[in-house]
A and B are shown apart, each in its own frame.
Chain A
Amino acid sequence: MRGRATGWAIGVVLALACTLVAPEASAQESAQSAQRLRVAIHSYENNLTPFTLTLTTFPVTADMVMLVYDSLFYSQASEDPEPWLAESASVSDDARTWTVTLREGVTWHDGRPLTAEDVAFSFDYYQQQAGSSGRYAHHVFDVPALDRSEVVDQRTIRFHFKDPAPQFDIMPGADLPIIPKHAWQGVTEPSKATSELPVGSGPYKLVEMVSDQRYRLVANEAYFKGRPTVDEIEMPVVKDPAAAFAALRTGEVGFVTRNVPSELVGQFGGSSGVAVAAATKFESTQLNFNARKSPWNSAAVRKAISLGTDTQALVDTVLLGRGRPGRDGFLHPDSPWAMPNGRHELDRAEAERLLDEAGYADRDADGVRRAADGSRLELSVLVSSFEPQDLRAVQLMSQQLEPLGVRVAPEALDPVSLRQRRQAPPGQVPGFDAYMSTLETHAHVDPDGLYYFFHSPGPKGFGGVITGWGNPRFDQLTEQAAVSGKDERKPMLHEAQEILAEEAPAIVFWYRSGEWAYRPDAYSGWVPDPGQGILGKRSFLPEYVRARSVATGAGEGSAGEAPGDAGGGGVGPALAIGAVVVLGLVGATVARRRRVEPDDE
């Protein structure tokens, strides 16, 4: 209850934040370049090396790591990534050997040349540091597994793989940050190397970090893609969302890394001096079953629950329409690997039939189905207490499933407790029923994403990691796909998605739309990068900024249509009047009571 009250109060404050501001007649100038840009970020992750990022950190710092570092190709969200540090690459006929030629004249931030030695070292180092490199390294030793790297000459490197690796250019090629050998070769515990400023090759140099307060990045003027458009980016850490958007209003910052809350989108645009750009990351918010625990190990029961869940209603009610309804095949509809014509099947009659067939019936007319042994069909869903929207979605789902005779109850936990509840000692089945999670872009664009997230628990313990679900045909398809080229891979992955849709180890609730608020007078060169959002390196590189800037491009659409504050202008004064009236009443009552008693002064 307390949480809800706080939520309301925050809502009121956010609304106030936007109505109290007098609409300024801002000169609608927009800046394609800037000397200094201030970006309000909401988390601090030490010195922004690839090793300070774990699988559980905030995606925003992953964006920032890629401002400092470069990968061989870019971006992971494209099925045909652009050569980046690489100038060209060729693959052998058996797809087991990749030869990569590096760009000429690329230097590290400290001026030393970036050579094939560094690239080879990076791959070897990630492999050695398997334990502590979290987010990135597993791509070097899982799928496709690198056998060894070979330095041919200063600019040429050859990668040898154990199995065919036809999509090396995407993963890990377009994902793995290349690190300098001279800075890392002596480091044995990279996750503890958090106090030195990182040396990268990317468009920005991190020059200052103050713990939990700010980062300061300056442009790498020698960048091989041209001098970045903003000379200096300051990134103060602003924890409170209302404060961050208020700071955007006043011009104290020019961009906020949080998604604009749905209720605020309408307030921006017009004459507010703040515009909104659409740039969607491929994120899915989903319910994951514990597919190893009865009755959730039954595909029929899981599918019935999926059939009874109206994902469009979840988007409309919880996200206020700012997202796309979840699809049964898991992958984001814009992912290059998503099956065509994917959708979410909503069929309550079919759901009833499946549950009847599985032996669940309302045996004592209390509105809840029971198994033959009398156990009630109740689904307890673990939800992070930091994600109020997930909580609301599960509550709504609970209403949707009530007529089916299925009870759904959310259980809110802090994120760490939630992770602990998901774990069980080796060989045992954890006790939870289901949990909510959000999988970021990487899960949706990795050509082996389906393998990683839904393959049966393998010898390494990876795969099947989110649900424990397994299906032999699915495993076979994803294993085959992993060694196949793009054109053969797609049909396999499509079939694998059909299996996911049929067996429903997870129910995707929605794919959120990315909407980011910025001040065009501070900087307007933002380039929406599909799947990557907007705070990427392309937003600061002249060739991309010129080619597609949101100020003139399609991104402005969502901003342009947003109504100004015309309708909300009266709320501030009304509230003030209300407060005065309340105070007046209190005062009057007190005064009257006092007057009855004799004044003792």
Chain B
Amino acid sequence: MAGHVARTVAQYLLVLFAAISLNFALPRLAPGDAVDYLLPPEQAGSLTPEQRTQVLSQFGLDEPLATQFGDYLSGLARGDLLFSVRYGRPVTELLAERVGWSALLVGGAVLLSTVIGAVLGFRSAWRRGTSRDAGTLTGVMLVDSLPPFFVGMVLILVFSVQLDLFPIFGALPTVDTSGPALVGEVIRRSVLPLVTLTLAYIGPVYLVARSALVSELQEDYVLMAEAKGLSDRQVRRHAERNALLPLSTVTLIGLGALVGGAAVVETVFSYPGLGRLIYEAVLARDYAVLQGAFLLLAIGVIVANFVNDLLYPLLDPRVRRPRAATA
């Protein structure tokens, strides 16, 4: 077990290093001068060659590549990312402000959609081919095909405008509140975006869960279990446990895309998450923010998968010890 962990850790450190290096290399590989990335375009366009050289040396970009990479790594180690042109603030600060809201929103939505999607998917698979399965499938596909911003607007119309249950925008209350009232208000404000995002994520989870269980149900051990007279519930529990495996992998691999993909919902509800920060950084060509955000996401995905790798043996005894499976 310890050997396995050590090997996994080493593998992930390698991947992490690759991600960091890529993050360093990408802006330098892109066409155009680094100055175009560091200054707002209006300013960059009007610089004389001497001023360009000056800007480059100011950012240490006239050094050899190896020195630059060394500086970049030591900067990272100090938690020192670049300076955002648009906000006039260090990128680290901006990311720190947003990451909590993203974790609340995307994390919550991933959790909810996985649970709901899995429950629905397993139910459909168990009753595959029936009208109930078809009904659920149609319903889930219908919801999945609606663009999230549209779902968000409809939720706003029904629950905020018509029923006046939830506020329309923002993560923080506009009026001064503190203590438990603040927590309650933050939760209340997260409900609609959370529901919207959950609805948007359910589709893929549902499909994976359904097809995973369908294929498990065709396995010999299920036939065996049925043959020895286990109740439906017991059979289902055996099969479902195995069908959970692909689900966890699919969810964690897609985590980065989910954070970025939340931008639309964050815009509709004016929620200050990472997705919106990235989206606006793209529009403003705020490369420092983009670089920082991508690094954060890459690290997030790598860590999530690392955790998944460590948890996998607990879920699936077959990968726990290769010897055990063959013995």
Does chain A have a CB within 8 A of B315?
no
Interchain CB contact under 8 A, A52 and B41: no
Shortest B283–chain A CB gap in Å is 6
Interchain CB contact under 8 A, A192 and B88: yes
Interchain CB contact under 8 A, A423 and B168: no
Mark contacts of B69-107 with chain A using CB atoms, 8 A cut-off: 1 yes-contact digit, 0 otherwise: 000000000000001000111000010010000000000
Given A415-B283, A600-B130, residue A250 in contact with residue B89 (CB < 8 A): no
Query: Told that A239-B276, A590-B131 touch, could you supply 15 new A-B pairs with CB distance under 8 A?
Result: A17-B161, A22-B162, A55-B42, A192-B88, A195-B89, A214-B174, A236-B174, A240-B267, A247-B160, A247-B169, A250-B161, A420-B41, A426-B48, A594-B130, A594-B131
Interchain CB contact under 8 A, A46 and B131: no
- Which of B28-48 touch A at CB < 8 Å? 40-43, 45-46, 48
Which of B87, B129, B267 is close to A239, meaning CB atoms less than 8 Å apart? B267
- Which of B91-135 touch A at CB < 8 Å? 94, 97, 127, 129-131, 134-135
Given A55-B42, A416-B285, A419-B42, residue A243 in contact with residue B268 (CB < 8 A): yes
Interface stretch among A77-85, A107-115, A205-213, A540-548? A205-213
Does chain A have a CB within 8 A of B272?
yes
In the complex the two chains form, what is the Cα distance from A249 to B160 in whole Å? 10
In the complex the two chains form, what is the Cα distance from A249 to B164 in whole Å? 11
* Residues of A with C-beta under 8 A to B149: 9, 240
Does chain B have a CB within 8 A of A163?
no
- The winner among B41, B142, B168 for most chain A CB atoms within 10 A is B168
In the complex the two chains form, what is the Cα distance from A17 to B154 in whole Å? 9
In the complex the two chains form, what is the Cα distance from A6 to B146 in whole Å? 12
Mark contacts of B23-67 with chain A using CB atoms, 8 A cut-off: 1 yes-contact digit, 0 otherwise: 000000000000000001111011010000000000000000000
Mark contacts of A400-441 with chain B using CB atoms, 8 A cut-off: 1 yes-contact digit, 0 otherwise: 000000000000001110011001001000000000000000
In the complex the two chains form, what is the Cα distance from A46 to B87 in whole Å? 6
Does chain B have a CB within 8 A of A238?
yes
Interchain CB contact under 8 A, B135 and A587: yes
Interchain CB contact under 8 A, A191 and B88: yes
* Residues of B with C-beta under 8 A to A238: 168-170, 270
- Which of A1-54 touch B at CB < 8 Å? 6, 9, 13, 16-17, 20-22, 36, 38, 40, 46, 52, 54
Report which B residues bind A (CB closer than 8 A): 40-43, 45-46, 48, 83, 87-89, 94, 97, 127, 129-131, 134-135, 138, 142, 147, 149-150, 153-154, 156-158, 160-162, 164, 167-172, 174-175, 267-270, 272, 276-277, 283-285
* Residues of B with C-beta under 8 A to A21: 161-162
In the complex the two chains form, what is the Cα distance from A597 to B270 in whole Å? 49
Does chain B have a CB within 8 A of A93?
no
Interchain CB contact under 8 A, B169 and A243: yes
In the complex the two chains form, what is the Cα distance from A195 to B87 in whole Å? 9
Interchain CB contact under 8 A, A423 and B45: yes
Considering the complex, give the chain B residue whose CB is closest to the CB of A242.
Answer: B153
* Residues of B with C-beta under 8 A to A446: none
Report which A residues bind B (CB closer than 8 A): 6, 9, 13, 16-17, 20-22, 36, 38, 40, 46, 52, 54-56, 131, 191-195, 210-214, 234, 236-240, 242-244, 246-247, 249-250, 252, 414-416, 419-420, 423, 426, 461, 583, 586-587, 590-591, 593-595, 597, 599-601
Interchain CB contact under 8 A, B164 and A250: yes
Interchain CB contact under 8 A, A20 and B270: no
Considering the complex, give the chain A residue whose CB is closest to the CB of B45.
Answer: A423
* Residues of A with C-beta under 8 A to B41: 416, 419-420, 423
* Residues of A with C-beta under 8 A to B156: 242-243, 246
Interchain CB contact under 8 A, A56 and B167: no
Shortest A422–chain B CB gap in Å is 9
Considering the complex, give the chain A residue whose CB is closest to the CB of B266.
Answer: A239
In the complex the two chains form, what is the Cα distance from A305 to B158 in whole Å? 49
Shortest A24–chain B CB gap in Å is 11
Interchain CB contact under 8 A, B172 and A214: yes
Considering the complex, give the chain B residue whose CB is closest to the CB of A590.
Answer: B134
In the complex the two chains form, what is the Cα distance from A62 to B154 in whole Å? 33
Considering the complex, give the chain A residue whose CB is closest to the CB of B137.
Answer: A590
Question: Can you name 29 A-B pairs with beta carbons within 8 Å?
Answer: A9-B150, A16-B157, A17-B153, A20-B162, A54-B40, A191-B88, A211-B272, A212-B276, A212-B277, A213-B171, A236-B169, A237-B170, A239-B276, A240-B169, A240-B268, A240-B269, A243-B169, A246-B168, A249-B161, A416-B41, A423-B41, A423-B45, A590-B131, A593-B134, A594-B130, A597-B129, A599-B129, A599-B130, A600-B129
Given A46-B88, A194-B87, A250-B160, residue A213 in contact with residue B170 (CB < 8 A): yes
Shortest B204–chain A CB gap in Å is 21
Shortest B179–chain A CB gap in Å is 18
* Residues of B with C-beta under 8 A to A242: 153, 156, 268
Which of B45, B131, B162, B169 is close to A591, meaning CB atoms less than 8 Å apart? B131
Interchain CB contact under 8 A, A194 and B131: no
Which of A55, A194, A247, A426 is close to B89, meaning CB atoms less than 8 Å apart? A194
* Residues of A with C-beta under 8 A to B129: 594, 597, 599-600
In the complex the two chains form, what is the Cα distance from A593 to B138 in whole Å? 13
In the complex the two chains form, what is the Cα distance from A397 to B104 in whole Å? 48
Considering the complex, give the chain B residue whose CB is closest to the CB of A237.
Answer: B270
Shortest A251–chain B CB gap in Å is 9
Interchain CB contact under 8 A, A212 and B162: no
* Residues of A with C-beta under 8 A to B284: 416
Interchain CB contact under 8 A, B283 and A414: yes
Considering the complex, give the chain A residue whose CB is closest to the CB of B101.
Answer: A213
Interchain CB contact under 8 A, B97 and A420: no
Given A17-B157, A239-B270, A599-B130, residue A247 in contact with residue B87 (CB < 8 A): no
* Residues of A with C-beta under 8 A to B161: 17, 20-21, 246, 249-250
In the complex the two chains form, what is the Cα distance from A594 to B129 in whole Å? 8
* Residues of A with C-beta under 8 A to B127: 601
Given A46-B88, A56-B42, residue A252 in contact with residue B168 (CB < 8 A): yes
Shortest B207–chain A CB gap in Å is 17
In the complex the two chains form, what is the Cα distance from A594 to B137 in whole Å? 13
Interchain CB contact under 8 A, A250 and B168: yes
- The winner among B135, B169, B171, B268 for most chain A CB atoms within 10 A is B169
In the complex the two chains form, what is the Cα distance from A21 to B160 in whole Å? 10
Considering the complex, give the chain A residue whose CB is closest to the CB of B130.
Answer: A601
Shortest B131–chain A CB gap in Å is 4
Considering the complex, give the chain B residue whose CB is closest to the CB of A235.
Answer: B174
Interchain CB contact under 8 A, A243 and B270: yes
In the complex the two chains form, what is the Cα distance from A195 to B158 in whole Å? 39
